[in-house]
Structure 1
């Protein structure tokens, strides 16, 4: 995925993590208003007082946060937040509210750094089990918002099979809700789950309202022209508007089978190999800090992702690779050990080939 163009007010995760957290919460609240406003107001009248009060509260929080971040966000954002708040008070139409909430999201997304997205999702059966263990008590086994605790909660849990709602919900919004929870609701933060698990859950619940048509995967590969970053940031309705080369059938297939979006991604072992080889090149150029960073990435973004699977097949091989990676990182700390570095690289790559053959040769 490509990073958005840099602007003078670009939100930087490295320089201001708190700013990034605040803007992500504004994104989440704005999307929530766009999705749930239809439950609060019908044809200019309040149809659900509790939902309407929630809409007002969320809009107020957005206004407060944009005022606090006035020096770090687009100048028009504060005015748009106030307009959204006033439009809700005026019980404006759904189109008006969704237009304003999306305008707020677009301004923030255009100045936010690219997300760190997973290279692969967990296997579908594993994600489904993860959902049942962590989410079904409220959302139900099938994600229909009918879990054992659902009726006792206010607001009631989301029905992920509701397509009208799903068409206006982005995967980023789902991921943020899983990661940070949602204030004023029973939705808590699942911070005990790792990043890959949370992204996998976001893609999973985002798939439940969609069913693939007769369209083929080949058709998707040849015709769909969309970056993963855009796919995650935008909801399905916006994707249709933004990308004339993706139609509703393609969208339904990619939402219902998100693994298709990752089928061309490098395998974890390939990522490990690439980073290890790049680490040696950096080492040879006497860039020791960069070499160390790449060696760490070879483990965290590569080998670690298949570590448990490999352990189930060959525990001794897993332990050997892990030990060699540790030794490799230690060697890279000291300059002038080129022969030892090259020997260690050759040994690790040979064992990674063994692991690749073992894992790809079995279901």
Structure 2
């Protein structure tokens, strides 16, 4: 039996090929995102013409079609921002934990943010968008820490399988707590149930203005953590030997990821699987360098969530299907594929 070894030239070509294709993929993803944003503004329960779109961008909302476009513009912008946030958050979580199954939804972080927001609404008197966002960030942070501690117990530390199981169990428990909080409160029950599905239909310029500063901070922290994430991928010992402060790098990147996840969940509700699917797709396109992976995850995540919103409006005319349902239909089979293909090995 003969064994075949790859030549050094072949290995070098495999490393270089993603680099050569990065500018092309960047232009392609940007073009797709722009097309999807146009479709999001023009397509829905009622299709509108180009003239109505131009008039709506000019500030006119007199006609029915122009008013429809005026409502779709902030909805589209919110889908872009939240999709980008969830894509980057998932990429950072996978980099920090070296876990191919890491995702804000799978690890229960989304549900922790949801529980904090619901408790704030029901018992703490929160009534402002900023208050909901802070509650979501705190809930996401506490849940992320809890899941990591639980997944680290026992022999072998925090393996991908243990973290996924801890996240699933925590998410189920937190979902029950949300129901327990909401059931006695008929005054908020309908709104919470609708919000828990996860959607961007309620997007307004006001909600965007409230969440945008938090998302900007989260994006900046995550992008500044890209070099540290590259070193963490080599292993803690080697990263420390190269001069990286492993604990600080891991905590800093985690903070950025939690801010993105918590703020997004507070505005749109829990939207799952975007943070799982997008980083894996982007690694195939641009490689594992987080300096490229994070920006591409932002653009591709924005494109995915915008496309999910368009599909949800088209397939259920004149009604709509929230993006949380559409992303679940796409992400659940992908999750099964990753489990079978990766055999839940670490990244």
TMscore range, shorter length: under 0.3
Q: TM-score by structure 1 length?
A: 0.24
Q: TM-score by structure 2 length?
A: 0.25
Which structure has greater helix proportion? 2
Q: Which has the larger radius of gyration?
A: 1
